Structure 1
Amino acid sequence: MTTTKDAASEHREDAVPTVPTTNEPTPANGVDLEEYRMNVPLWKRVWQHSLTQMFLLSVQSFCGPAISDAITGLGGGGLATPEVSNISNALRYALLAITCFLGAPIVNKLSVKWALVIGSMSWPIQGSAYYCNSKFGNQWYLILSGAIAGVGTGCWYVAEAGAIMTLAPSGARGKYLALWIVARNLGQLVGGAINLAKNNEKGVSGGISPDTYIAFVIIQCIAFPFAFMIAPFERVVRYDGSRILVSEALSTKMEIKRIAKTLSSKLIMLSGLWAFWSFFYTGTWTTYLGLYFSVRARALSSLISPFFCILGCFGLGFILDTKYLSQRRRAQVGLYTVIILNVGVYIWSIIMQTKFNRHNPGSIDWDDGLYASSFLPYFFVQTTGPLSQSYMYWLLSSFATDAQENVRNGAAFRGIEAVGQAVSYGINTKSQGNPLIGFCVTFALLGISVLPMIFLVNTTPDRIPADVIQEQQDIDHKKGADYV
């Protein structure tokens, strides 16, 4: 693994960073905040603030991926049988993976903003396909929507991954990522509330009410206008006055070479198994809910499962942002925290499913005595899964040398992650499949990913290379100005 100094040297050789195109002054420590406040209108300062940009991304995460996950979290997409939903999701994540692997050159050419705009248009298509399937039994549209959502969401995910790893100041990355994770889970909470309001009658079997999907589609449409409000990275100002390091645009050929280099880098090679595992659980838990829970029990599960995640993600964020530990030590503490919590959840899940294999509980309702013990593993995995994601993006951003590299690293991680999801849904395409297989495979993947992650975490630099490079450029820029 290269050191911070080596990364900085390599970055200078490969590309000449651009000078921010704004009119605000750029002293040695970034932006002179006093002058910035005097010379720039309030609305523009609010728009350019890194926290505002993170909020805009979080709103999109709430309206798009979170609502999509909420539909998935209904168990088989809330349909009477989960087979077609699992096929659609398997196709979706297969194409999402391909798009992510090719996404960095696309996003760096289009810009983050326009990649988000394109991606935000795909979610209402997926939501409407679930409505058509539930209302009219239209299966081909549901499968086609999986393909469309795979490509569109792939563009959006690559842009989002680069943005969430780039926007935050070095001392607040954990909290910024927690905000993003909470937005993702609030979407599921709202989706669960809508679902529960429309599907609360006891004894109802089959799929959820078709009207539920209309409410989901309306929320998914809201992401589109917020995508237009994203600011270019070079205009973003963080609360400490620092700017984002943005390099000159590269040719498509050079971008493809860079993404190939990223995929073969130690960073991605060591984190690849973790990426494959990180969302592998979704396919199995979707099948688990569809097989063993009533409609209203699934609705209640999708409503209350995000609550603990909110506390957990901000707790991890404070650990990762603490000033009393070095960045490497924070990375180590964060990794072991996430691993221990996941191990506990998967042991519980395997024990529970083993009992179900011996005696099928039928359709569990929320007033059944078995509900609490069978639901709690799902409740906790909805926290440990996002914790694993939040931690990994924090770790990847610790190695970046500029914003574009965050996009490439995020694209590679998201691509591998999507492959894992595609395989997971592929395993669970049959509704009568045994979730125990999925639980055991997921647990095994966690086990084999731990050792490479320990090696990676032990090489975490003490400071983010991009910050070191930006500070040196600002100093050189000020020296040049003083000389003139």
Structure 2
Amino acid sequence: MPRPDGKPWMYKSFKLGPVKLPCIASVGFQVTFVSFASFLCPGMFNAINGLGGAGLVNAHDINNANTTLYCIFSVVGFFAGSIVNKVGLRLTLLLGGLGYPVFVASLLVYNHTQNTGFLIFAGAMLGVSAALFWTAQGTVMISYPAEEEKGRTISLFWMIFNIGAVIGGLIPLLQNLHSSKNSVNDGTYIGFIAMTTLGLILGAFLCNPLFVKRKDGSRIIMMKNPTWKSEITGLFHTLRTDWYLVFLFPMFFASNWFYTYHFQGVNLPVFNIRTRALNSVLYFGSQIVGAWVFGLMLDRKTWRRSTRARGVAVILFLLTMGIWSGGYEFQKTYTREQMEAHPELKLDWTSHGYIGPMFLYIAYGIYDSAWQTYCYWLMGAMTNNGRKLANFTGFYKGIQSAGAAIAPQLDVKRVSYMAQMLTCWGMVTFSLLFASPIIWTKIKDHSDIDEDLKFSDETKEEVVGETLQSGNN
């Protein structure tokens, strides 16, 4: 039935201060919107971290800042799903963007004053805000789309997000194109501060999920009036009812572990600053390709969903063996001590022998996007309940960040690059094998709506094909 003002139901409004802003409540628009916020906040963070040592000469203090960041991220992330459900996606995303410009500003200050205290504080602040940002983002990405569109939706996000990292990587590449130094200039950090601040502002304009409708008319399953008690109780209820998610925890743990080795164990010691910037662009650019390919495979309608889950697991295992064995062969060509004693050995993109390591680094980027896309898709294949998926995403980001907190300390303790590389390879191989029983037995061709509704106060009639009424604000 039409609205009294003649506008379609899918268009709603919300107020931000004195300004009334349109809010287009389609799944595609909302996912794209969150993707661009991610483009500007974590996308820029990835770009600057991808330079190796965050563009600094020495990685010691940035490793400690990242450890602080991910330690706090892991704790807050575990409960972030409850915060999302209680506070709401829009406010959580807005708060989640606060830490990114502050962290980049701390790098600028550190480059001039070596103020380690501010750097560590900024890492801690980003740990809190990033946990909120990523949990809100993940909830939108895997709970909003219909079952048959989740793979493409995840890949769309990952592509836009990594375009941000590519553009972010082009900034230091162009600004340091003729630089022979091993650190980036001030303009690089100022550009990142401006872009992350814009991403923070975007968080204020996310639509209320109560207004979002899929193409088939179904709504997002969320609890209407959650309390802190209901959310904390629901968090542990999720672990009890969906205990099999624990089999995916090693995959979650490994998903950010290899970043330290990629950035601090390969890009930083082996290449000069302008080539590090180019490698960063190639690394994140290749993730766009990887996300697109895996998104198509995961949504291929000619295969049942259970078949897709198993087939992609096999492909990911083969990639693990192929790419990391290539990494092992490359790692045998240099050591930490050798590169520190002879900085003149650093490769430039004009150097003989650069092409092989370049393609290896591209393969590492493809592997990362494949791994992350598959993890998100597996969670989305287990349920369509937005409240439960907020908890799933919180578990994912919390456990992922626990791994990301430990890995930099291996570099701080000067563990050999070869040992770090073998640890990465062993961890991803083990986690895939550990998750395989769940992948083979728990991914069904369709999610049961009655099971999904146990975590909300919706009814089946409200969720499927109901038109929103104007009073539901």
Distance in 2 between residues matched to 1:477 and 1:291, nearest whole Å: 55
| Cα gap change, 1:42 to 1:442, in 2 (>3 Å) | same
- Tell me the equivalent position of 1:28: none
Q: How does 1:234-273 map to 2 (within 5 A)?
A: 234-263=210-239, 265-273=242-250
| Cα gap change, 1:189 to 1:164, in 2 (>3 Å) | same
CA contact (8 A) 1:122 1:149 kept: yes
CA contact (8 A) 1:263 1:412 kept: no
- Tell me the equivalent position of 2:350: 367
Q: In the alignment, is residue 168 of structure 1 matched against residue 145 of structure 2? A: yes
Shift of the alpha carbon at 1:225?
2.3
> Which of 282, 287, 312 is equivalent to 1:334?
312
> Which of 190, 196, 211 is equivalent to 1:214?
190
The letter for the 2-side match of 1:464 is S
Q: In the alignment, is residue 384 of structure 1 matched against residue 400 of structure 2? A: no
Distance in 2 between residues matched to 1:178 and 1:467, nearest whole Å: 28
CA contact (8 A) 2:11 2:25 kept: no
Moved more, 193-202 or 243-252: 243-252
Per-residue CA distance 1:53-80 (angstroms, 9 max, x = gap)? 0011001110011110111100011101
Other structure's SS at 1:150 match: helix
Superposed CA RMSD in Å reads 2.6
Q: In the alignment, is residue 155 of structure 1 matched against residue 132 of structure 2? A: yes
CA contact (8 A) 1:262 1:268 kept: no
Other structure's SS at 1:239 match: coil
CA contact (8 A) 2:288 2:369 kept: no
Moved more, 442-451 or 255-264: 255-264
Moved more, 276-285 or 393-402: 393-402
- Tell me the equivalent position of 1:349: 327
Shift of the alpha carbon at 1:84?
0.5
- Tell me the equivalent position of 2:443: 460
Q: In the alignment, is residue 52 of structure 1 matched against residue 29 of structure 2? A: yes
Distance in 1 between residues matched to 2:6 and 2:424, nearest whole Å: 51
Shift of the alpha carbon at 1:443?
0.8
| Cα gap change, 1:268 to 1:172, in 2 (>3 Å) | same
Q: How does 1:185-196 map to 2 (within 5 A)?
A: 185-196=162-173
Shift of the alpha carbon at 1:469?
5.7
Distance in 2 between residues matched to 1:446 and 1:36, nearest whole Å: 55
- Tell me the equivalent position of 2:386: 403
The letter for the 2-side match of 1:400 is T
The letter for the 1-side match of 2:434 is P
Distance in 1 between residues matched to 2:73 and 2:463, nearest whole Å: 42
Shift of the alpha carbon at 1:446?
1.4
Shift of the alpha carbon at 1:429?
1.8
- Tell me the equivalent position of 2:284: 306
Residue ranges of structure 2 left out of the alignment (5+ in a row):
14-21, 467-473
Distance in 2 between residues matched to 1:374 and 1:433, nearest whole Å: 22
> Which of 203, 208, 217 is equivalent to 1:232?
208
Moved more, 42-51 or 418-427: 42-51
- Tell me the equivalent position of 1:110: 87
| Cα gap change, 1:301 to 1:469, in 2 (>3 Å) | closer
Aligned-residue sequence identity (percent) comes to 21
CA contact (8 A) 1:237 1:243 kept: yes
| Cα gap change, 1:257 to 1:331, in 2 (>3 Å) | same
Per-residue CA distance 1:295-344 (angstroms, 9 max, x = gap)? 11101111222233222211211111121111111111222222222321
CA contact (8 A) 2:217 2:464 kept: no
- Tell me the equivalent position of 1:474: 461
The letter for the 1-side match of 2:428 is L
Distance in 1 between residues matched to 2:194 and 2:23, nearest whole Å: 28
The letter for the 2-side match of 1:402 is N
Report the TM-score, using the length of structure 1 for normalisation: 0.86
Q: In the alignment, is residue 419 of structure 1 matched against residue 402 of structure 2? A: yes
Distance in 1 between residues matched to 2:207 and 2:450, nearest whole Å: 20
The letter for the 2-side match of 1:243 is R
> Which of 123, 136, 142 is equivalent to 2:100?
123
The letter for the 2-side match of 1:258 is G
Q: In the alignment, is residue 284 of structure 1 matched against residue 284 of structure 2? A: no
CA contact (8 A) 1:48 1:236 kept: yes
The letter for the 1-side match of 2:406 is V
Per-residue CA distance 1:11-44 (angstroms, 9 max, x = gap)? xxxxxxxxxxxx879xxxxxxxxx9997447687
CA contact (8 A) 1:63 1:223 kept: yes
The letter for the 2-side match of 1:267 is Y
Residue ranges of structure 1 left out of the alignment (5+ in a row):
1-22, 26-34, 480-484
The letter for the 2-side match of 1:317 is G
CA contact (8 A) 1:268 1:413 kept: no
| Cα gap change, 1:476 to 1:65, in 2 (>3 Å) | closer
Report the TM-score, using the length of structure 2 for normalisation: 0.88
The letter for the 1-side match of 2:41 is G
Other structure's SS at 2:169 match: helix
Other structure's SS at 1:355 match: coil
- Tell me the equivalent position of 1:205: 181
Moved more, 446-455 or 390-399: 446-455
Other structure's SS at 1:238 match: coil
- Tell me the equivalent position of 2:16: none
| Cα gap change, 1:312 to 1:37, in 2 (>3 Å) | farther
Q: How does 1:432-471 map to 2 (within 5 A)?
A: 433-458=415-440, 459-466=442-449
| Cα gap change, 1:302 to 1:401, in 2 (>3 Å) | closer
Shift of the alpha carbon at 1:223?
1.1
Distance in 2 between residues matched to 1:277 and 1:194, nearest whole Å: 29
Q: How does 1:13-32 map to 2 (within 5 A)?
A: none
CA contact (8 A) 1:165 1:394 kept: yes
The letter for the 2-side match of 1:236 is V
Shift of the alpha carbon at 1:260?
2.5
Shift of the alpha carbon at 1:407?
0.1
| Cα gap change, 1:410 to 1:37, in 2 (>3 Å) | farther
The letter for the 2-side match of 1:454 is S
Distance in 2 between residues matched to 1:342 and 1:24, nearest whole Å: 54
Paired residues in the alignment total 446
Other structure's SS at 2:358 match: helix
Q: How does 1:67-146 map to 2 (within 5 A)?
A: 67-146=44-123
